[in-house]
């Protein structure tokens, strides 16, 4: 034992100075290298598995696009064929399906996709309604807003498109019925039914905007509005400032004002909404957004619903980034010829203006949408 101990000690004494530290470094590097290889292999493997799911969306067939709207459950119907609302008043869901234009046999533009985007206030009111389109051939994206107060071809008490989702959901008994009703009423205004949908609760905007540290916005004047019935209190001073999630949402929602303060038109409110959306999208496409992945995943699962699967959403994101991000997005609002004034404040759509806009931007077909395909109410 002493000899072995001495021999071991001798070997130690013969090693040059600092060798112990070098050995620790080599051991660390070796361990790190093995760990790195395993990590890269896992990431690559996961990436390869994920890549197998990334694909462009499968477009619904013409027979699906042209299919009439059918309620998935049996609502209460009177002898006159009308639905009865919760107060016992007769209320029609909207345009009869057979009056809507059929796209059966129409030729689609290659790699052209349309999405209906709905922003929900309080989980029920569709206060933001947009139709987005992406042309993968030209790498151009379009976003067309529809004012929430636009008059639609319906006989219910509130004949605004904002009511389409809640009426469809209430009488149809499901979220899917609300989406189907909204798609049908959007079709009456633009001539075709969007392929897919994305529904976002306003809570998502607050979470995302707070997560990215707010959005910088120039507020042109003091926005002040109080609505105790909605528990809504907007108070945003003028000037260039960074708005947190709540104030950014208030900026996007603001239209009417308290006495002595200035309000905006529905068109101006839509412009404010588009500004917030563009600013948020630009921030989310920056490298800084990586740190927001956990928050985005949580927000998505809580506040967003869609019929696009994970691979299809990733595909869309990749295409938009390749196309130049927000710079490839053009925003519009359907033209309005006027409004009814109090008490209903209906916005009346401009048929000719809509046809020109739709055929130039979001029409997914090679044929033009024509006037008989719209169900525009102008008075």
Asked if pLDDT for residue 55 goes beyond 80, the answer is: no
The whole-model pTM stands at: 0.71
**Are 33 and 83 within one domain?**
no
Task: For residue range 85-99, list pLDDT tens digits in order.
Answer: 333 333 445 544 445
Q: Is residue 293 part of a domain?
A: yes
Task: For residue range 219-266, list pLDDT tens digits in order.
Answer: 999 999 998 877 889 999 999 999 998 999 899 889 889 999 999 888
Q: Is residue 245 part of a domain?
A: no
Q: Is residue 167 part of a domain?
A: yes
**Are 39 and 70 within one domain?**
no
* Tokens 């395993």 belong to residue: 38
Given this model, what pLDDT does residue 36 score? 52
Q: Is residue 36 part of a domain?
A: yes
Task: For residue range 105-128, list pLDDT tens digits in order.
Answer: 889 999 999 999 998 876 677 888
**Are 291 and 323 within one domain?**
yes
**Are 140 and 45 within one domain?**
no
**Are 103 and 85 within one domain?**
yes
Q: 13-22, 145-154, 209-218: which range is least confident on average?
A: 13-22
Q: What is the number of domains present in the chain?
A: 2
Task: For residue range 156-200, list pLDDT tens digits in order.
Answer: 888 999 999 999 898 888 899 999 999 999 999 999 999 999 998
Q: Is residue 235 part of a domain?
A: no
**Are 157 and 286 within one domain?**
yes
Given this model, what pLDDT does residue 123 score? 64
Q: Is residue 46 part of a domain?
A: yes
**Are 298 and 280 within one domain?**
yes
**Are 179 and 83 within one domain?**
yes
**Are 189 and 314 within one domain?**
yes
**Are 176 and 323 within one domain?**
yes
Q: Is residue 355 part of a domain?
A: yes
Q: At 94, which CATH number? A: 3.40.630.190
Q: Is residue 328 part of a domain?
A: yes
Question: Do 279 and 216 touch, CB atoms closer than 8 A?
Answer: yes
Question: Do 154 and 352 touch, CB atoms closer than 8 A?
Answer: no
**Are 182 and 258 within one domain?**
yes
Given this model, what pLDDT does residue 211 score? 83
Asked if pLDDT for residue 73 goes beyond 90, the answer is: no
Q: Among residues of the chain, what percentage have pLDDT more than 70?
A: 70
**Are 287 and 322 within one domain?**
yes
Q: Range of 23's domain?
A: 18-52
């Amino acid at each position: 034992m002493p000899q072995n101990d001495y021999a071991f000690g001798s070997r130690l004494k013969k090693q040059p100075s600092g060798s112990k530290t070098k050995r620790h470094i080599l051991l660390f590097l070796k361990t790190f290298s093995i760990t790195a290889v395993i990590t890269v292999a896992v990431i690559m493997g996961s990436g390869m598995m994920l890549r197998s799911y990334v694909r462009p969306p499968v477009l619904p067939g013409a027979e699906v696009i042209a299919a009439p709207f059918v309620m998935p459950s049996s609502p209460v119907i009177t002898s006159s064929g009308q639905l009865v609302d919760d107060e016992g008043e007769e209320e029609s869901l909207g345009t009869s399906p057979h009056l809507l234009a059929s796209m059966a046999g129409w030729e689609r533009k290659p790699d052209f996709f349309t999405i209906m985007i709905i922003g929900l206030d309080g989980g029920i009111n569709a206060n933001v309604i947009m139709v987005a389109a992406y042309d993968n051939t030209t790498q151009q994206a379009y976003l067309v807003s529809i004012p929430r107060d636009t008059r639609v071809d319906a006989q219910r008490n509130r004949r605004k498109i904002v009511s389409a989702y809640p009426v469809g959901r209430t009488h149809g008994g499901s979220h899917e019925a609300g989406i189907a009703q909204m798609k049908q009423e959007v079709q009456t205004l633009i001539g075709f039914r969007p392929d897919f949908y994305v529904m976002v609760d306003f809570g998502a905007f607050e979470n995302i905007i707070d997560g990215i540290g707010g959005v910088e916005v120039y507020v042109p004047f003091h926005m002040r509005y109080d609505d105790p019935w909605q528990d809504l209190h907007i108070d945003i001073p003028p000037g260039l400032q960074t708005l947190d999630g709540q104030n950014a949402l208030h900026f996007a929602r603001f239209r009417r004002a308290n006495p002595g303060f200035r309000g905006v038109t529905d068109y101006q409110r839509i412009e404010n909404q588009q500004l917030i959306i563009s600013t948020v999208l630009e921030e989310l496409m920056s490298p800084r957004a990586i740190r927001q992945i956990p928050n985005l995943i949580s927000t998505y699962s809580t506040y967003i619903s869609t019929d696009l699967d994970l691979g299809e959403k990733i595909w869309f994101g990749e295409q938009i980034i390749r196309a130049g991000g927000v710079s490839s997005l053009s925003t519009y609002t359907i033209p309005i010829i006027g409004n009814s004034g109090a008490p209903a404040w209906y916005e009346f759509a401009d048929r000719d203006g809509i046809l020109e806009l739709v055929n130039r931007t979001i029409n997914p077909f090679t044929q033009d949408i024509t006037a008989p395909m719209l169900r525009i109410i102008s008075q």
